[in-house]
Each structure stands twice: as C-alpha cells, then as structure tokens.
Amino acid sequence: MNKVTLTGIIAMIILAGATYLAIGMTKGGLGGDIVNTLAVAGALALAAITIFVVVKYVRQMQTDKATGELAEENWDGIGEYKNELPIGWAVLFMGVTVWAIWYFIAGYPVNAYSQIGEYNEEVAAHDAKFNAQFANMDDATKTEMGESIFLVNCAPCHGINADGIDGKAADLNRRVSAKTVKYVVEHGSNNHLLGTEMPMPDRNGLFNANTNALITDAEIDTVANYVANGMKGDGAEIFAGTCAACHGPDGKGQPYVAPDIAGFTPELVVNVLNNGKKGAIGHMPAFNNLTDVQKDALGHYITSLSE
Amino acid sequence: MFHWLEKHPFFFAVGVFLTIAFAGLVEVLPNFAQASQPTIGTKPYTTLQLAGRHVYIKNSCNACHSQLIRPFKAETDRYGHYSLSGEYAYDRPFLWGSKRTGPDLHRVGAYRTTDWHENHMWDPAAVVPGSIMPAYRWMFKNPANIDTAYAEQLTVKKVFNVPYNKEIPTKDGGTTMVKLADSLDGAKADALAEAKRIAADMKDQDVKDMVANGQIPEIVALIAYLNGLK
C-alpha cells in the first residue's frame, strides 16, 4: 500500500476516535440525542472528505508528468502550457464581465452611499413622522410646541421669559411698548404685514380728525401710552381720530388693511417670522428655517403670552 | 518592453506609480474642480468684511466657533442648510474649525442682527444666560485695519482672479457686484460708507462718534463680517 494512502487511513481512524471521545462523553451520549448524532455524522463526513481530497492531490503531484505544448514566452526558465481555459473559469469570467458593466452603469451610481442621500432620507423620515403626529393639533398642543421652539430660536434675543432682556429685543408679554408705537407713528411702517399693500405713513401723513391737523408730539406720546396700556387710559379720542380708520375702533385691525395692535394673533407672528422686522429696537431677521406648522405653533405660543 | 521593465525594478516602480497616480487624478480632479467652484450667491468679501474677518482670526474666534454645518437634521434645524464646499471659495484660509465650545457661525448672518451682536460682544452673559464667552469690549475702541484688508483684496484679485468689480450671479437669478476701489483712499471711503450703515443700527455712542469721525472700530468690521455669513 502507498505511504500516503496509509497516512490517510490512520488520520481517519484518529479523527473518528477523537470525535467518538469528544461527543460520546457529553451529556446525551452518541445515540440518545439527534443533535449529537448529526454532529458526529457531520464531523466524520468532513474528516473523510478532507482526507480523500488531500490524498488524491498529493498522489497526483507524486505521479503526474507535465504534458502539452509550451508557449513561446519564457520568464527566466518558467514556461506556460497552451492549455484550454477550463469551462467553469470561462463562464465565471464572462459572468463577471457582464456584472461589471451593470455595476459601472447602474449598480454603483444607484446604490452608492451618499452622505447627502442619507441626510435627505433622515429628514424625509422625520418630516413624515412629524406630520403624522401633529396633523391635527389642538391649540394647547400648538402652544406647547411653540414654547419649545421659542426657547431654541427666539430666547437668544427675546429672553427665556420673552421679556426682551432689558429692552434688547421686543417684550412679547405685551403687544407693543410705548416706544415702539411712538417709533412707528413717527417713521411709518412698511412691513407689509398680513398682505397689506399700503404702507403706514409716517407722522407727516397722520391726521387727527378731531383737530383736523397733523398729529402733534404730545398727541403721539399720549396715544403711544394708550396703545401700550392695552387701549386703556388717556388718548382714546386721539386713537379714534387718527388710528381707528385703519386699525379699527378697538385696535383689532382689519383684514388686508392694518394689523391688530390690541393683541397678538398667530397670523401676525407668522408674518413677522416670514419677513423679519425692523423697528424701534433693532432688526429682527426672518426665520424661514422653521416650517409652516412650527411658525403657526410659535404664533399660538406668543399670542398666549399676553392673554 | 515588459521584459525590459521586469529586468529594471526601478523603472518598473516608476511605471506602477505613474499608473496609479493617473488613476487617482482621473478620480479626484474633476470632482474637486467642480466642488471648488463658488456656489451661486457666494460673494467675495468687501473691504470692511475682510477687515472683520481679520478681527475674527486675530481673536481666535475659530478656536471655539466652527463654520461648518454638517448634513444632520439636528444641525440643519439649528443652523440652516448644510455647508457646501463652494461656499468657501473666497475664504483664505477657511475657518471650518474643529471644536464647538460655542455654536456654529457659518450662517449666523441669517438669524442674528447688528444690534444683537453689539449687545452680545459687549456682555455675552447679558444676552445668553450662562454663556461662558468672554466680553470683547476692546473691539469697541480699537480701530480696524483697513490697509491690510485692502492689500489682501488686491492680492487675491491678482493671484486668484477673485471676481471683484465683476458680475456675480445671485440666488434669485440676477447679478450683483462687489466693488474693489482703485486706491487705498477709495477703499477706506467705501469701508467707511459701509461702516456708517452698520453704526446706524448700533447704540454705543462711542462707536457712533468714531464712525462719524471717519474711524472704524473693530466691532463694526466684525459685525459686517458676521452679517455677511449667510
């Protein structure tokens, strides 16, 4: 018998014995447990196949003689036979070629990882969830959402309590301050709030119907305090004679003519968020980074502050 | 040829390097050339903005503030659209930063204004409770260096062909132009005109007086720069 075959048989016996010992001594033994039986069968099959293949190729290396026609190319004495390409290799080669063309044209461009693509998916998923969760909000939920938006986006200027941080920004706990009213009366307003096309004129265009003359400094001070106090106190006649024509007798404004100056409305806040504002205190930028739902929620929150 | 290369390892190595380098160039360069083009709406800095940028660098603002918004929902919600490489086309050097002790500033001009910056730079904690940012009060007195800013403008125009005095497309489809004066005096006059517009929105009387007297404090230049970051 050949030495290699003999080594194979001995190895097979050793591996079978090792399997028997390893599994036979575990709980369940060799035959009582279907899993153990299968494991033994698998281990024996693996050992048998491995030994058969190794023996076959070692024998082949010992006995095979090189035959066939040599190619003309020769690399330092190492030559190459002109053998046919095995059919399996040829099929594999053609298959990979076809796959490569697909991968180059469609596979990679369509499926490649993209950071921006991942971002877009993240945003789309978040928006879908957000829209589903807040499709029909009641006013209390809007106010709650508005407060959290306020703390992130508005509090840096208006303060956590919306008090405007000592006059550094508008105090949103009240509709207007006397300073702002005075500024608007003196300089006019061109904020195009709520779709109004006509800008509010400055003091040179504001007549007091009671005196039939332009509004005076003293009247401006009085009416500014009147509006800032929530339409109370002195100045009701001046307001009625000068401001009420556009802002309404109660200061609640008129659609497409003038905004509400007696109190906040969500529409007014949304308009300021869309367009920004430049007034007595300074310049507020537009906040178009917020979605329409968020702006509306913020409007409800700010309206709720002065109610 | 291949037999010859196989017998000369040095030239073989050179050949390998050239092949791989060529493949790398083909992969990298076209995309790089495209991405480094200015995005629509990106403008070169005016003289005053550039002087403000120098103030920003001089005070190491970039040590605590980044100028790079990453494409994550949490960041774009807070800071605006994620940054594009073409937006840094006129930044020399870029100020991406690698640490955010303070917030990102790449689009701070979109949500903060002159009066806010004035309050904040004078006393940050008064505007942002708990802020650990120091006050930068000397900026309200120190004059900004317009000469250096103008010199840099001239240099980048000549060396990198930055489009000063040329039409630049804007986001709304129109065009705009960033003026570069012919002389230093002209540049100073332009910077002062821009400074006056900013000082009009400020409250500090010393700053207003300095600008009225033809001087430009650093704070005005810095605010011009920050307002331009959009």
Residue given tokens 């030559």 in the structure block: A79
Task: Using CB atoms, pick whichever of B73, B111, B126 lies closest to residue A165.
Answer: B126
- A171 and A41 in a common domain: no
- A147 and A58 in a common domain: no
Which residue of B lies nearest to A159 if distances are taken between CA atoms?
B127
**Separation between Cα atoms, residue A177 and residue A224, nearest integer Å:** 8
Q: Is residue A156 included in any domain, yes or no?
A: yes
Contact A264, A274 (CB under 8 A): no
Q: Is residue A96 included in any domain, yes or no?
A: no
Cβ neighbour number for residue A246 with a 10 Å cutoff = 15
Contact B221, B51 (CB under 8 A): yes
Looking at residue A100, its pLDDT comes to: 96
Mutate to test the interface with A, among B1, B82, B127 (most CBs of A within 10 A): B127
Given A39, A63, A87, the domain boundary residue is A63
B73 and A75: CB-CB below 8 Å?
no
pLDDT confidence tier of residue B11, bands split at 50, 70 and 90 = very high
pLDDT confidence tier of residue A254, bands split at 50, 70 and 90 = confident
A156 and B127: CB-CB below 8 Å?
yes
Q: Is residue A100 included in any domain, yes or no?
A: no
Q: What is the mean pLDDT of residues A252-267?
A: 84
Q: Is residue A85 included in any domain, yes or no?
A: no
Q: Is residue A70 included in any domain, yes or no?
A: no
- Indicate whether A30 pLDDT > 80: no
Contact A230, A237 (CB under 8 A): no
Looking at residue B25, its pLDDT comes to: 94
Number of domains present in the structure of chain A: 2
Count Cβ atoms within 10 A of the Cβ of residue B64 and give its class: 0-12 exposed, 13-18 middle, 19 or more buried: middle
Q: What residues contact A267, with CB distance under 8 A and at least 6 apart?
A: A194, A299
Give the pLDDT confidence of A79-134 residue by residue, as tens digits: 888 888 889 999 999 999 999 999 999 988 888 888 899 999 999 999 999 989 88
Which residue of A lies nearest to B72 if distances are taken between CA atoms?
A119
The residues spanned by each domain of chain B are 2-35, 47-228
Contact B102, B64 (CB under 8 A): yes
Q: Pick the most confident of A7-16, A17-26, A205-214.
A: A7-16
Residue given tokens 């796959």 in the structure block: A99
Looking at residue A195, its pLDDT comes to: 67
- Indicate whether A190 pLDDT > 80: no
Looking at residue B137, its pLDDT comes to: 94
Q: Is residue A149 included in any domain, yes or no?
A: yes
ipTM over 0.85: no
Give the pLDDT confidence of B58-67 residue by residue, as tens digits: 999 999 999 9
B113 and A168: CB-CB below 8 Å?
no
- Indicate whether A191 pLDDT > 70: no
Looking at residue A146, its pLDDT comes to: 93
- Indicate whether A38 pLDDT > 90: no
- A293 and A167 in a common domain: yes
**Average pLDDT of chain A?**
86
Given A63, A79, A108, the domain boundary residue is A63
Q: How many residues does chain A have?
A: 307
Give the pLDDT confidence of B146-205 residue by residue, as tens digits: 999 999 999 999 999 999 999 999 988 899 999 999 999 999 999 999 999 999 989 889
Looking at residue A257, its pLDDT comes to: 81
- A293 and A168 in a common domain: yes
Residues of A in contact with B72 (CB under 8 A): 119, 122
A289 and B80: CB-CB below 8 Å?
yes
Residues of A at the B interface, defined by Cβ within 8 angstroms = 75, 115-116, 118-119, 122-123, 126, 152-153, 156-157, 160, 165-166, 168-169, 281-285, 287, 289
**Separation between Cα atoms, residue A225 and residue B124, nearest integer Å:** 32
Count Cβ atoms within 10 A of the Cβ of residue A239 and give its class: 0-12 exposed, 13-18 middle, 19 or more buried: buried
Q: How far is CA A3 from CA A7, A9, A52, in A?
A: 6, 10, 14
Amino acid at A108: Y
- Indicate whether B32 pLDDT > 80: yes
Contact B96, B67 (CB under 8 A): yes
For residue A162, is it left (φ>0), alpha (ψ between -120 and 50) or beta?
Answer: left
Prediction pTM value: 0.76
Contact A269, A121 (CB under 8 A): no
Contact B189, B216 (CB under 8 A): no
Mutate to test the interface with A, among B73, B201, B223, B227 (most CBs of A within 10 A): B73
- A59 and A141 in a common domain: no
Residues of B in contact with A284 (CB under 8 A): 113
**To the nearest whole angstrom, how far is the Cα of A251 from the nearest Cα of chain B?**
30
- A28 and A148 in a common domain: no
Give the pLDDT confidence of B44-97 residue by residue, as tens digits: 999 999 999 999 999 999 999 999 999 999 999 889 999 999 999 999 999 998
B73 and A153: CB-CB below 8 Å?
no
- Indicate whether B108 pLDDT > 90: yes
**Average pLDDT of chain B?**
92
Task: Using CB atoms, pick whichever of A119, A157, A289 lies closest to residue B71.
Answer: A119
Overall fold of domain B47-228? Cytochrome Bc1 Complex; Chain D, domain 2 (1.10.760)
Contact A303, A265 (CB under 8 A): yes
**To the nearest whole angstrom, how far is the Cα of A283 from the nearest Cα of chain B?**
6
Q: Tokens in use for A208?
A: 């007091």
**Separation between Cα atoms, residue B41 and residue B10, nearest integer Å:** 51
Task: Using CB atoms, pick whichever of A123, A153, A285 lies closest to residue B113.
Answer: A285
**Helix or strand run (H / E) with residue B175:** strand B175-177
Looking at residue A98, its pLDDT comes to: 97
Q: Is residue A98 included in any domain, yes or no?
A: no
Peptide bond into B93 cis (omega under 30): yes
Residue range of the domain that includes A180: 137-305
Count Cβ atoms within 10 A of the Cβ of residue A152 and give its class: 0-12 exposed, 13-18 middle, 19 or more buried: exposed
**To the nearest whole angstrom, how far is the Cα of A105 from the nearest Cα of chain B?**
16
Outline where B59-200 has alpha helix (H). 73-79, 114-122, 124-127, 146-160, 184-199
Given A63, A78, A105, the domain boundary residue is A63
Residues of B at the A interface, defined by Cβ within 8 angstroms = 6, 71-73, 76-78, 80, 82, 110-116, 119, 126-129, 201
A284 and B110: CB-CB below 8 Å?
no
Looking at residue A55, its pLDDT comes to: 93
Residues of B in contact with A283 (CB under 8 A): 113-115, 201
Looking at residue A28, its pLDDT comes to: 67
Looking at residue B129, its pLDDT comes to: 84
Q: Pick the most confident of A61-65, A232-236, B39-43, B127-131.
A: B39-43
pLDDT confidence tier of residue B22, bands split at 50, 70 and 90 = very high
Task: Using CB atoms, pick whichever of B76, B82, B201 lies closest to residue A283.
Answer: B201
